[in-house]
Structure 1
């Protein structure tokens, strides 16, 4: 069911429920007041006849004649007067006798002072009446024809008004719900116009103040992230294709050249060596891309456990020297590390080792003496690892982009690389809720500092 219909039905149901309760309250209150007023009128009529009989000493036959000639068709009252011995002193119409008094009823009236009940459609009241020291019992029955008719008319009026108001509330609520949700419909129309080819479009943000505007603003922010992600994805795919094509083209060229004519064994060996070097570069690129894919995993899918950071570094150095035996790495532990527990970090050893290998590989590759200095310091909250080289440094314009995928600075164009390493390192450190910073000056080397939470 659409929200518009839900809101309309809910609004109608709530308003209708309140209106129904209000109508019932009016009907019941009117019915009770009408009943009370009618009993009072019947009592007054009965007292009037008792006074005529007992005070004015008018004969019962005369009162009956008056009653028959002036009987109120709306009341149709019937009044009887008894003494305490159950002797009938007066009766308006004994042949009708609606109340059918009994000695037990007379006694009950004397004990309670007054009783009220209904006999079919007749209102019946009985009460004690004292006159000149004598007690009398008066009963009176009457039909509230006018009151019943008025009550029925009120019921009809309330019923008609109830359904009329419900209809007005329904259509009024539907109109206001449609007006309130109109921005949502416009938002849906805007969204349907946006496809993968025009992610630069944005939805209208309305007045910028209400909840719909907040939704539109949030959606636009999401579109910006999607647009950025799609653009980045296109760039990454383009760069990957370009970077893979270069070593493949070099390999193909070397092999085609070797195949074009007979050559000496030394020339074949040289061609194979070139092709092998290109294949290794391609393998390194693919490995870097796979590591980046792992670093992009959801944090919940990666196993984290506590490891000593110096042991992870030693494993990384061993792995680095397998491929580069000429690289030198020196580790220094600062005096601030007072306890081994300060070098315990919670993380994924494989990913951290991958990050450290990339940092040390860069440092050794760009240092004049192929040496990397690693300094470990710590406090009770963080363990800090600094990777220091004495290379050419990074120019100021390149610093903001050193962690961008496939970005290569101006001072490193002569070195082999694909611009993946530092981007991969940044993703791994972010995955570990850590922080990485770089400080570098041209001609003075660079310092990459990694901070990881102790745990």
Structure 2
């Protein structure tokens, strides 16, 4: 079922239910008031009838004749009680058709409380106790409330009619407003249907109304931005990967074909095998880097994290660099280390973090031609900050937006060996640990990379 109709049904049921409750309450209140008012009128008539009958005062008879409208089927009854305040059982009025429906409790209540009411079908009874010359009497007036019944019947019809009109009005208003409110959703749906893989540059129209529809359009546009970037990155990745993998494969195939072309001396075969081995090593390095890059793109649930001290991690990275490049001039800055060693703990995968930091430090050494490079560590209650700085060739400003694309290499790095995977791999690892990495670089001045990792809460 469409949301429009769900809203309409909910709105209609809720509104009609409220109106129905209000109408029912009004009807019951009116019904109660009508009965109470009619009993009050019967009570007044009972006292007037008693005074007119026992005092023989013509004024009461005149009031009855001139000012009291006779009620439908109005009847008056006078029952004499004995000294024990009981109605003699042989009283013939008790067996009259009009009074035989009255229960004995009605008479007892009149004598005990002074008055009582009773209803039998459409006939209402009001009884009062009246004492004349020390003799108690029960005066009963009965009548039918035809006017009240008709009034209540008319009220029911009016309320039902109003309820029906209100229901129609609510449905009509609900249809209009649900269509009006959901119009932006229909427009967004229509625009989304036109977006395909070949036109991800299209965006939804943002009404800038500040409401949920505007927020939805903005969120969807942001998602389209990420999708477009992901598609472009994927295309570039496939293109660059094909090129990077194809180059050593072409060299291997070409060298093998050249060696097999004719009989050659042993030295030439050895030289061809050295070329093939070199290109195979290069191919293996690229495939391992691609595998690491793909694995670090997974979420953290696939990784086993443990508590790690960042200062020990940096020392381990320095030892690794010393083995790979003994001529390096990497220095560690200890001046910003905190007094509280507990702040140096983070949660993560030590091997992955060492891989990320080693790649960055190796780049610092390589692109600065082994000039001095610096590693600094600072820590707070919330985060550990690792700063790696070199005085190398830097990155041109126009290349900075693309440094995280796999296989991308800056325009000034052609004389240096590399594959353009180190920085994307490092950023993936840092993100996997809930951190972030910021690169600041000036061409011919050097590069500074700031890595922030959350401090372990335990």
What TM-score does the superposition give when structure 2 sets the normalisation length? 0.82
The 10-residue stretch of structure 1 (401-410 or 240-249) with the greater mean CA deviation from structure 2: 401-410
Cα distance per residue 1:72-96 (max 9 Å; x no partner): 6x611221123443589x9999964
Distance 1:101 1:267 in 2: 132
Name 1:220's counterpart in structure 2. Answer: 221
The DSSP-based 3-state class of the residue aligned with 2:198 is coil
Residue 75 (1) aligns with residue 72 (2): yes
Change (3 A) 1:354 1:414: same
Superposition deviation, residue 106 in structure 1: 5.0
The 10-residue stretch of structure 1 (223-232 or 422-431) with the greater mean CA deviation from structure 2: 422-431
Superposition deviation, residue 430 in structure 1: 3.1
The 10-residue stretch of structure 1 (400-409 or 12-21) with the greater mean CA deviation from structure 2: 400-409
Distance 1:339 1:28 in 2: 76
The answer to whether the Cα contact below 8 Å between 1:342 and 1:378 also exists between their aligned partners in 2 is no
The DSSP-based 3-state class of the residue aligned with 1:6 is helix
The answer to whether the Cα contact below 8 Å between 1:376 and 1:383 also exists between their aligned partners in 2 is no
Superposition deviation, residue 71 in structure 1: 11
The DSSP-based 3-state class of the residue aligned with 1:411 is coil
Name 2:14's counterpart in structure 1. Answer: 14
Name 1:163's counterpart in structure 2. Answer: 164
Distance 2:144 2:391 in 1: 115
Superposition deviation, residue 128 in structure 1: 1.9
The DSSP-based 3-state class of the residue aligned with 1:115 is strand
Residue 259 (1) aligns with residue 260 (2): yes
Superposition deviation, residue 283 in structure 1: 1.4
The answer to whether the Cα contact below 8 Å between 2:115 and 2:128 also exists between their aligned partners in 1 is yes
The DSSP-based 3-state class of the residue aligned with 1:173 is helix
The alignment covers a number of residue pairs equal to 444
The DSSP-based 3-state class of the residue aligned with 1:412 is coil
The 5-angstrom pairing of residues 319-330 of structure 1 reads 324=324, 328=328, 330=330
Distance 1:265 1:440 in 2: 50
Name 1:210's counterpart in structure 2. Answer: 211
Distance 2:135 2:96 in 1: 27
Unaligned runs of 5+ in 2: none
The DSSP-based 3-state class of the residue aligned with 1:417 is coil
Residue 42 (1) aligns with residue 42 (2): yes
Residue 299 (1) aligns with residue 296 (2): no
Name 2:287's counterpart in structure 1. Answer: 286
The answer to whether the Cα contact below 8 Å between 1:84 and 1:137 also exists between their aligned partners in 2 is yes
Residue 241 (1) aligns with residue 238 (2): no
Change (3 A) 1:101 1:408: closer
What TM-score does the superposition give when structure 1 sets the normalisation length? 0.83
Superposition deviation, residue 127 in structure 1: 0.4
The answer to whether the Cα contact below 8 Å between 1:328 and 1:371 also exists between their aligned partners in 2 is yes
Name 2:3's counterpart in structure 1. Answer: 3
Cα distance per residue 1:369-419 (max 9 Å; x no partner): x57755454445555555555644445554554444322223310122121
Distance 2:393 2:184 in 1: 58
Distance 1:333 1:160 in 2: 87
Cα distance per residue 1:247-297 (max 9 Å; x no partner): 222222222222222222212222221222112112111111111112211
Name 1:114's counterpart in structure 2. Answer: 115
Name 1:28's counterpart in structure 2. Answer: 28
Name 1:361's counterpart in structure 2. Answer: 362
The answer to whether the Cα contact below 8 Å between 2:313 and 2:354 also exists between their aligned partners in 1 is yes
Distance 2:176 2:100 in 1: 59
Distance 1:242 1:329 in 2: 34
Superposition deviation, residue 50 in structure 1: 3.1
The answer to whether the Cα contact below 8 Å between 2:333 and 2:377 also exists between their aligned partners in 1 is yes
The answer to whether the Cα contact below 8 Å between 2:371 and 2:392 also exists between their aligned partners in 1 is no
Distance 1:342 1:16 in 2: 63
The answer to whether the Cα contact below 8 Å between 2:47 and 2:128 also exists between their aligned partners in 1 is no
The 10-residue stretch of structure 1 (435-444 or 216-225) with the greater mean CA deviation from structure 2: 435-444
Change (3 A) 1:384 1:106: closer
Residue 349 (1) aligns with residue 350 (2): yes
Name 1:407's counterpart in structure 2. Answer: 408
The 10-residue stretch of structure 1 (335-344 or 7-16) with the greater mean CA deviation from structure 2: 335-344
Name 1:173's counterpart in structure 2. Answer: 174
The 5-angstrom pairing of residues 384-399 of structure 1 reads 385-387=386-388, 391-395=392-396, 397-399=398-400
Superposition deviation, residue 124 in structure 1: 1.0
Superposition deviation, residue 136 in structure 1: 3.5
Q: CA RMSD in A?
A: 3.8
The answer to whether the Cα contact below 8 Å between 1:79 and 1:91 also exists between their aligned partners in 2 is no
Distance 2:96 2:439 in 1: 118
Distance 1:41 1:388 in 2: 102
Change (3 A) 1:214 1:387: closer
The DSSP-based 3-state class of the residue aligned with 1:161 is helix
Superposition deviation, residue 152 in structure 1: 2.3
Distance 2:363 2:104 in 1: 120
Distance 2:25 2:181 in 1: 33
